[in-house]
Amino acid sequence: MLVGGTDTIAITLEWAFSELMRHPIIMKKAQEEIRRVVGHKLQVEESDINQMHYLKCVVKETLRLHPPGPLLIPRETISNVKVKGYDIPAKTMVYVNTWAIQRDPKNWESPEVFMPERFQHNQIDFKGQDFQFIPFGFGRRGCPGYNFGIVIVEYVLASLLYMFDWKLPETSMQHIDMSEVFALALTKKEPLLLEPIAFSF
């Protein structure tokens, strides 16, 4: 389970940084919150993360736009069922497309826009109870390691944003390619290259 989670954690962090680099105002807001909460300590402590409400919104919005697994593990119907006027016979293999659900304009305002604020004053969570937001699946077949994954993503993202400011390398084109490669996990077509600048406290 730990090995299986490392890839999706790295992918989620890369997507989060890609979105933050494309939205410098959002990055600045996240960094200001992190640096206010941590103060002048040498590093982020795990207990600090619970006070970083905007950072949690950034992580949720990243998972909404870029779910680690765009298709959930296939399911099979155990009996005949009718869904939205469609008759689905027993023993039918069903694939749930989280990528499409989480970008559906019926569920989300401006679904293609990276907007962490959408999570600031609503209770939608990724624990499988809100079916418009299911990056880790739902029910008994939900991801068993999602708690571990979220803790690691939040902690690493907070630490990197606390310790460094970030910029695109001078040699790169000042453009971030957001093309996706569909596989078991949804990765970036072109890797993100950034230069860290140590933040002086």
| pLDDT above 60 (res 4) | no
Mean predicted confidence (pLDDT) in 44-51: 94
The model's confidence at residue 21, banded by pLDDT at 50, 70 and 90, is: very high
Q: What is the dihedral of CA 162, 165, 171, 172, to 10 degrees?
A: 70
Model-wide pTM > 0.75: yes
Delimit the domains of the chain by residue range.
2-72+98-198
* Position 130 pLDDT exceeds 80: no
What average pLDDT does the segment 27-45 reach? 95
* Torsion angles phi and psi, residue 29, rounded to 5: -65, -45
User: 55-64, 147-156, 164-173 — which is least confidently predicted?
Assistant: 164-173
- The fold adopted by the segment(s) 2-72+98-198 is Cytochrome p450 (1.10.630)
pLDDT at 5: 55
pLDDT at 124: 84
**For residue 201, is pLDDT > 80?**
no
pLDDT category at 1 given cuts 50, 70, 90 is: very low
Among 77-86, 88-97, 132-141, 154-163, the minimum mean pLDDT is found in 132-141
Mean pLDDT of 156-175: 87
pLDDT at residue 165 in the model: 95
Give CA–CA dist 51/38, Å, rounded.
9
Q: Per-residue pLDDT for 56 more than 90?
A: yes
3-state secondary structure at position 129: coil
What's the confidence (pLDDT) of residue 128? 67
Q: Is 143 annotated as a binding residue?
A: yes
**Residues 6+ away with beta carbon under 8 Å from 146:** 126, 127, 136
- Give Cα 7 to chain centroid, integer Å: 13
